[in-house]
Amino acid sequence: MSQRQRDDMVILAHIREQHRLSLQSYGRPRMTEELQELGIMVGPRRIGRLMRENGIKTIRTHKFKVTTDSNHGFNIAPNLLYQDFSADGPNQKWGGDISYIWTSEGWLYLAVILDLYSRRVIGWAVSNRMKRDLAIRALDMAVALRRPAKGCIHHTDRGSQYCSKQYQKRLSRHDFEVSMSGKGNCYDNSMVETFFQITKGRANLAQQMGNKKTS
């Protein structure tokens, strides 16, 4: 095996990983940008060839995009809320999630942390790519702002971003009680789901008004 073939195998491994993390949404230009950001100096022609030869295809849709990958081997925490989103004061129960907004420039991913007492966003992070640290950045902002006491319940779905070792280490470091929704049950995190529905509705309205002004 030549050195170039060995290099191709390394590059292909990174392509497969980024293809998985992006939920199969990265084409050749975005894949090139992502790998170069990771320090892998490779051109778009080589990436395109490797993707083509290995059947790595881009799936595009403008109507729906999955943000929860629960098909993983990380540990799952029990549901401590059981759809009881009430709280007697701040920093007793937090809810987190990741969703998206479709814009003229593509998908915009938004990770948020809500205090379920006030229903206010206390931490957030945004990116045009589904980065692994997106959820962590939102959590770090919330912790820096609120500095919750030991025992605050942190509730999310069971997506890989929240079950990852890096995220769980953050929660353990700040003494959170970890809670996760049941499999496929959106009602277990409905407070955050409602926030995203309102946000998307406002974004769609703003886009429609913008289209009317330019028509």
Average pLDDT over the chain, rounded to whole? 81
Let me know if 104 is exposed, middle or buried by CB neighbors in 10 A (0-12, 13-18, 19+).
exposed
Rounded to 10 deg, the angle between the 165-173 and 134-146 helix axes is: 10
Strand 120-127 relative to strand 153-156, pairing? unpaired
Regarding the domain with residue range 93-214, which homologous superfamily does it belong to in the CATH classification? Ribonuclease H-like superfamily/Ribonuclease H (3.30.420.10)
Domain extents for the chain? 3-53, 93-214
Q: What is the pTM of this model?
A: 0.61
**Mean pLDDT by groups of 10 residues along the chain of 215 residues:** 86 85 77 81 92 85 47 71 91 91 69 92 86 89 95 91 91 95 73 75 53 51
Say how many C-beta atoms besides its own lie within 10 A of residue 201's C-beta.
10
